[in-house]
Amino acid sequence: MELLEPRHLQKQGAVRQEAGTPASAKTRSSAAGIERIRELGLGAMELEFVRGIHMSSSTAKEVGKVAEKHGVMLRVHAPYFINLNSKEKEKVEASKKRILLSAKVGEVAGAKIVTFHPAYFQGMEKEEVMEKVIGEIGEMAKEVKRNRWRIKLAPETTGKGSQVGSLEETLEICRKLEGVQPMVDWSHLHARDNGRFKEKGDFLAAIEEIPKKFLKDLQMHASGIRYSAKGERNHLNMDEEGNTFNYKWMLEALHEKRVSGCIISESPNLEEDALLMQRYWKKL
């Protein structure tokens, strides 16, 4: 999706789900997606590497040029096949390689962040898991710094309690590591806690938990969502039956708290919900 540039949310925007390209783009290429984003009046797009990193450095460079030409901000979503708490060391190392390769390609394209789902608890004690995950992300952050990349690592809030990624857990990681920032998926948080945002005040309270330094450029996801007692089941369109995520309350809370940043839509209808949110934002 894409969002807002007016008033408090400067540089807001984006449209996205897995494909990484708006459904209405002329082709499925990232360059065509960026051009369509700008035609729609949106301002950001997420490059989706969720099924694998299939973009060469030369293509990434061209994608970056197109994004710069059209004034579209880029982000990267690393593969889903990541578990920094795997009991098998080789799987942890493979996870880190996927994240760092996503970061490398994103850096060439000029992307702001690379986001990822950090890990699974696997029945282990939370304290032990968090220590391990923070250590592994810390090693990656050092590698990013050594390479002098500008792209930031951004662990995402996740939709199930079996995954590392509550708001508290995500913020703990980011507080303890330099150069790491949160990627707040509001819909995941809603599903994770079986309908967390029952009123606008619940969004306001969540924003209060986030350190002010991150609110200056908060990176976010939003979509309709279906959940069960175990958390997230699947994404929905905002106006689809079964969705209880209220995007208006989210936007009103962000506006009241003077949050700046970028929201990427992950609804199945991609740009439609991006535009839906953008139109409401402009009314605030």
Is the residue at 12 inside a domain? no
As beta bridge partners, residue 219 has 183, 262
Is the residue at 15 inside a domain? no
CATH of the domain at 258: 3.20.20.150
Q: How far apart are CA 21 and CA 32, in angstroms?
A: 8
Give pLDDT, residue 126: 97
Give pLDDT, residue 4: 34
- DSSP state letter for 157: P
Give pLDDT, residue 12: 37
The answer to whether 11 touches 260, Cβ cutoff 8 Å, is yes
Is the residue at 202 inside a domain? yes
Is the residue at 11 inside a domain? no
The answer to whether 282 touches 4, Cβ cutoff 8 Å, is yes
Domain count, the chain: 1
Q: Which residues contact 245 (CB under 8 A, 6 or more apart)?
A: 186, 187, 190, 197, 222, 223, 224, 225, 238
Q: How far apart are CA 219 and CA 214, in angstroms?
A: 9
The gap between the terminal CA atoms of the chain, to the nearest Å, is: 18
Is the residue at 185 inside a domain? yes
> Which domain covers residue 121, as residue numbers?
30-283
Give pLDDT, residue 20: 66
Is the residue at 279 inside a domain? yes
Is the residue at 24 inside a domain? no
Give pLDDT, residue 27: 87
Question: Tens of pLDDT along the chain (284 residues)?
Answer: 233 332 333 333 333 333 367 888 888 889 999 999 999 999 999 999 999 999 999 999 999 999 999 999 999 999 999 999 999 999 999 999 999 999 999 999 999 999 999 999 999 999 999 999 999 999 999 999 999 999 999 999 999 999 999 999 999 999 999 999 999 999 999 999 999 999 999 999 999 999 999 999 999 999 999 999 999 999 999 999 999 999 999 999 999 999 999 999 999 998 999 999 999 999 99
Is the residue at 138 inside a domain? yes
Q: How far apart are CA 2 and CA 75, in angstroms?
A: 12
